[in-house]
Amino acid sequence: MTLALAIAAGGLYAAGLYLLMRRSLMRLILGLSLLGQAANVLIFAAGRPVRGQAPLVAVYATAPSSPFSDPVPQALILTAIVIGFGTLAFAIVLLKRAHQAAETDDLDQMRGADA
C-alpha cells in the first residue's frame, strides 16, 4: 500500500511540475494545486497507514494496540486540504480578474502589458 502511495505521489509531482512549466496561468494554478495534493499523499504515506486498524485506545490501556495508523498526519492533511481549497478558490477568482484586465491567459503577454 505504501508503494502505491509513493507512486501516486510521484505521478502527482510529475504532473504538477509539467503544468508549472506551461505558459498558461490556469495551468500554473492547477500545477500548484497538484503539488499540494502530492505533498498531502507523501505525508499520508510517511504516517505508515494500516488498513483496518483505527488508533483507538482500549479501556484500561495506556496506548493503542500495535499496529495502528498515526492520526497526526491525517489531521494535518485534513487541515491542508481545507486551506488548499480556500487558496485555490482565491487563485481562480484572481485569475478571472487578471484575464478580464489583460484579456489573455498567457503569462508572457501579461508581462508585456505591464510596461
Q: What pLDDT digit, counting tens, does each position of 26-52 carry?
A: 999 999 999 999 999 999 888 877 777
60/13 Cα distance (integer angstroms)? 44
The burial of 98, by beta-carbon neighbours within 10 Å (0-12 exposed, 13-18 middle, 19 or more buried), is given as: middle
Q: How confident is the model at residue 21 (pLDDT cuts 50, 70, 90)?
A: very high
71 and 55 Cβ atoms separated by less than 8 Å = yes
pLDDT in tens, 46-92: 887 777 767 777 788 887 777 777 788 889 999 999 999 999 999 99
What cell was used for 35? 503539488
Average pLDDT, rounded, for the chain: 87
- pLDDT-derived band at 114, boundaries 50, 70, 90: low
- The answer as to CATH 1.10.287.3510 being correct for domain 2-51+68-114 is yes
